[in-house]
């Protein structure tokens, strides 16, 4: 028993993926959906007022009249996709969470919106269609390993028309420098995000390299002992530019966020508009 628990506390190799189910765990995916849909919480999706500001800005710089078809990578429950389609885009949303996609489809039908949703890992995306615009929003890109970032950029590039554009954002080194290394534990007697019933949550937050952090969650319950790894890679404007250009993209614009705020060195995020 002790050996089993102690192994869960070991630091993994860089970018090791969680062995325990996350996106499609019945309880965890339900909690994730609740977090996504909370208009005042920005731990899963950005707050509703920012989303609306962001969509308005995107329409101005990449208008649907010129970039009609839009591919939203990691669309979640459809918070952006529904607003995109009402602004005149023809929208396809992709997400790995069945619960999020089911919610998005139901919400679109209820609102009478024509949105094509695909439940699939975007690392294996293969649609017989090219798009004028793609979005990958809320720093999902930096949560991937170096190899998987390359794969997703190649996939998006393949699915864009010549001259098509990609908007994505990442956390900057400002956020890396603010990241606090710590280890804490908490007893959730009534259950919580990770389990429906009582469990102990141990958090181990560490800086794994000069630009990568790990948030390691060890969950101990009567049912199981599981470990989850949440990685984040942080960028400067220069390191992000170098990485995206290696895939063939050129940079059309650099901003502090996906609502078009002018870029400044102290910004916690960096957004780039790329062109194929």
Over residues 127-160, the pLDDT tens digits come to 999 999 999 998 999 999 999 999 999 999 999 9
User: Structure tokens of 267?
Assistant: 């910004």
Choose among 161, 79, 156, 168: nearest CA to 115.
79
Distance between CA 129 and CA 141 in Å, rounded? 22
User: Structure tokens of 36?
Assistant: 């996504």
Mean pLDDT along residues 4-10: 76
| Position 183 pLDDT exceeds 90 | yes
Q: Which are the contacts of 131, defined by CB distance < 8 A and separation ≥ 6?
A: 69, 70, 71, 92, 159, 160, 161, 164
Q: What is the pLDDT of residues 188-198, one digit of tens each?
A: 999 999 999 99
What's the pLDDT at 132?
Answer: 98
Which H, E and C letters describe the chain, residue by residue? Answer: CHHHHHHHCCCCCCCCCCCCCCCCCHHHHHHHHHHHHCCCCCCCCCCHHHHHHHHHHHHHHCCCCCCCEEEEECCCCCHHHHHHHHCCCEEEEEECCHHHHHHHHHHHHHHCCCCEEEECCHHHCCCCCCEEEEEECCCCHHHCCHHHHHHHHHHHHHCEEEEEEEEEEEEEHHHHHHCCCEEEEEEECCCCCCCCCCEEEEEEEEECCCCEEEEEEEEEECCCEEEEEEEEECECHHHHHHHHHCCCCEEEEEECCCCCCECCCCCCEEEEEEEC
Give the torsion through C-alpha atoms of 47, 243, 237, 254, to 10 deg: -60
Q: What is the pLDDT of residues 49-102, one digit of tens each?
A: 999 999 999 999 999 999 999 999 999 999 999 999 999 999 999 999 999 999
Q: Which are the contacts of 273, defined by CB distance < 8 A and separation ≥ 6?
A: 61, 62, 165, 166, 167, 251, 252, 253, 254, 255
Q: Which are the contacts of 187, defined by CB distance < 8 A and separation ≥ 6?
A: 198, 199, 200, 201
User: Structure tokens of 211?
Assistant: 């630009």
pLDDT tier at 42 (50, 70, 90 boundaries)? low
| Position 227 pLDDT exceeds 90 | yes
User: Structure tokens of 121?
Assistant: 């890992």
| Position 43 pLDDT exceeds 60 | no
What's the pLDDT at 4?
Answer: 66
């Amino acid at each position: 028993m002790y050996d089993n628990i102690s192994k869960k506390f070991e630091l993994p190799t860089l970018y090791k993926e969680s062995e325990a189910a996350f996106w499609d765990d019945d309880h965890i995916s339900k909690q994730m959906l609740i977090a996504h849909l909370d208009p005042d919480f920005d731990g899963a999706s950005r707050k509703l007022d920012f989303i609306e500001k962001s969509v308005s800005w995107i329409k101005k710089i990449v208008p649907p009249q010129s970039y009609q078809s839009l591919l939203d990578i990691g669309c979640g429950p459809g918070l952006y996709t529904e607003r995109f389609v009402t602004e005149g885009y023809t929208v396809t949303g992709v997400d790995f969470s069945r619960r999020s996609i089911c919610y998005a489809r139901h919400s679109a039908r209820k609102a009478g919106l024509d949105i094509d949703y695909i439940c699939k890992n975007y690392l294996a995306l293969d649609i017989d269609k090219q798009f004028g615009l793609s979005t990958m929003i809320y720093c999902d890109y930096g949560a991937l390993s170096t190899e998987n970032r390359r794969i997703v950029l190649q996939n998006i590039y393949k699915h864009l028309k010549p001259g098509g554009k990609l908007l994505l954002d990442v956390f900057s080194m400002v956020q890396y420098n603010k990241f606090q290394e710590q280890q804490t534990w908490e007893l959730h007697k009534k259950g919580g995000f990770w389990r429906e019933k009582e469990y102990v949550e141990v958090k181990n937050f560490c800086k794994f390299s000069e630009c990568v952090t790990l948030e390691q969650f060890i969950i101990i319950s009567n049912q199981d002992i599981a470990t989850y790894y949440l990685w984040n890679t942080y960028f400067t404007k220069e390191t992000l530019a170098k990485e995206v250009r290696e895939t063939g993209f050129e940079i059309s614009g650099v901003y502090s966020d996906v609502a078009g705020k002018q870029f400044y060195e102290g910004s916690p995020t960096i957004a780039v508009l790329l062109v194929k």
